[in-house]
Amino acid sequence: MVRQTGRLARAVREHAKPAHRSYGRGGTALKRKSNRVLWLLPAAAALFLLLGLLLARPQLPDEPANLSSSADTDGVRAWRELLEKRNGNVGEWRLRWEELPETGSNRLMIAVGPNKIAPKEWEAMESWLRAGNHLLLLDDSGEEPLDWMLSGGKSDDADSEEGAAPAEEKESEATDQNETDSASGKDAPPPEKPIEAEALVGPGSYVAEVSTSLRIQSASNDAETLVKDSEGVLASRLKLGEGSVTFVVEPRWMQNGAALRASHTEIMAALLAGSWSEIMFDEQHHGYTLKPGLFAVYPNWLLLASIMLLLAMLLWLWSSGKRFGPVRIPREWTVRRGDETARALAAWYERFGLMDDALDRQRRRLRQQLSQRWGLSPAATPEQAAAAARSRWSEQDAQRLQHVLEERPIVASGRKAARREFIARSRDTSELAALLRGSSLSGRGERR
């Protein structure tokens, strides 16, 4: 029996053991497939990011040409950084030329390829130059500044060659020319030409890239020729009062892409040489303007008057709202009734001229205290009250009591005088009331 029971227990234990799983060939294949999926996910994510960077690469903004902050081949940032290292006081001018500072001198304004300049701006610039400042203008647009005249370019050659060609034919030719220039790109510079720059740089042989057919013709004999080639003058300088203006018809010489080619470095270094108090790059004529603020519209005297009026108003509000005096209030004022109630009541009596009424109330209150302390009748005359006081107080205090109990209106003329009389009589009443509270009760008083 015992043997059968042991066999049964052993069989139950063996049956209760968990069965071991065996994957076999199918389980191994499933495991390999899951590992392959885990490796494919990071690879797909990396490929997606790589394609995104290649296809959606951010493009640099195409900035206008001749900007002092542009690092493109048609910008002039290289010369600006060089000037900042040598001079230090280099900035941008983003206002109209009419707003140039009237004070100061020996400033240099650099305008490279500016857009349309209004005649009023040239008038303001001329006044600024005569005050001892200088202008370096590099422009090939064909506009004739100040006393200079231009030859060549569109004004002479283009009109004579085209003649009476139809307008549509002119537009198609201009479009073809622009497409050819854009196809050649900025990497195809114009050919180098020998130039004469001894007056600017010194003796030597120099070459420069000349892409314009414009040449300078001065109507004034004071103009100095700085750079010229076989076709005419490329750079000229004109004295105006204490200042000067230098006009160059080839702005490419100052651009980043052409700065190190030919003799451009020597030419521009000579044009920019000088101990300037300040150097400003004109960016207003490139479309970068600085709008004046709200307060720039009003004159200075009006702003000063408004500020002073505002300060006066603030001081008045502060003096009206602030309570001058001690911050700590004595405890006897706040035990039963605050100081605010007494002040408000006094102001009420003073505002409506009720000082006589206030003195009458003080007298009645004092008579009530005399009745409680000394048993004196409330209808007693001032003389009777003074006689009763002589047996307890001094003669001086008795006379004061008689004087206070007499019904006399305030006779002082004027508001301030009436206020002083009211304060004096109220003080006497308060002192007598305090003296009465300190004396003995009825029938037990002693003379002081």
Which pLDDT does position 185 carry in this prediction? 43
Structural domains of the chain, ranges and CATH numbers in brackets: 77-154+189-286 (3.40.50), 340-438 (no CATH)
Per-residue pLDDT of the chain (448 residues; tens, 9 = 90+): 445 445 544 553 554 454 444 444 555 555 566 666 677 778 888 888 887 777 766 666 677 888 888 888 888 889 888 988 888 788 888 888 888 888 888 899 999 988 888 889 888 998 999 989 999 999 888 888 877 777 775 434 434 344 434 444 434 444 444 444 444 444 567 888 888 888 888 888 889 988 888 888 876 677 888 888 888 888 889 888 888 999 998 898 988 888 888 888 898 999 988 888 889 998 888 887 776 666 666 778 888 889 999 999 988 888 777 666 666 656 665 555 555 666 777 777 777 778 888 888 889 999 999 998 888 888 889 899 999 899 889 999 999 998 999 888 887 777 788 888 888 888 999 999 998 887 644 433 344 4
Q: Torsion angle of alpha carbons 406, 411, 417, 422, nearest 10°?
A: 20
Which pLDDT does position 311 carry in this prediction? 93
Query: Token match 């002192």: residue?
Result: 431
CA distance 260 to 209: 11
Residues 433/368, Cβ–Cβ less than 8 Å? no
Burial class of residue 312, CB neighbours in 10 A (0-12, 13-18, 19+): exposed
CA distance 141 to 250: 10
- pTM for the complete prediction? 0.51
Residues 147/236, Cβ–Cβ less than 8 Å? no
Which pLDDT does position 416 carry in this prediction? 81
Which pLDDT does position 40 carry in this prediction? 78
Q: Closest Cα to residue 211, out of 266, 253, 178?
A: 253
The 3-class SS string of the chain reads CHHHHHHHHHHHHHHHCCCCCCCHHHHHHHHHHHHHHHHHHHHHHHHHHHHHHHHCCCCCCCCCCCCCCCCCCCCCHHHHHHHHHHCCCEEEECCCHHHCCCCCCCEEEEEECCCCCCHHHHHHHHHHHHCCCEEEEECCCCCCCCCEEEECCHHHHHHHHHCCCCHHHHHHHHHHHHHHHHHHCCCCCCCEEEEECCCCCCCCCEEEECCCCCEEEECCCCCEEEEECCCCEEEEEEEECCEEEEEECCHHHHCHHHCCCCCHHHHHHHHHCCCCCEEEEECHHHCCCCCCCCHHHCCHHHHHHHHHHHHHHHHHHHHHHCCCCCCCCCHHHCCCCCHHHHHHHHHHHHHCCCHHHHHHHHHHHHHHHHHHHHCCCCCCCHHHHHHHHHCCCCHHHHHHHHHHHCCCCCCCCCHHHHHHHHHHHHHHHHHHHHHHHHCCCCCCCCCC
Which pLDDT does position 158 carry in this prediction? 39
CA distance 7 to 246: 120
The Cβ-side half-sphere exposure at 357, using a 13 Å CA radius, reads 9
Under 8 Å CB-to-CB from 122, ≥6 apart: which residues? 97, 145, 146
Which pLDDT does position 153 carry in this prediction? 58
Which pLDDT does position 415 carry in this prediction? 77
What is the residue type of 193? K
CA distance 91 to 72: 19
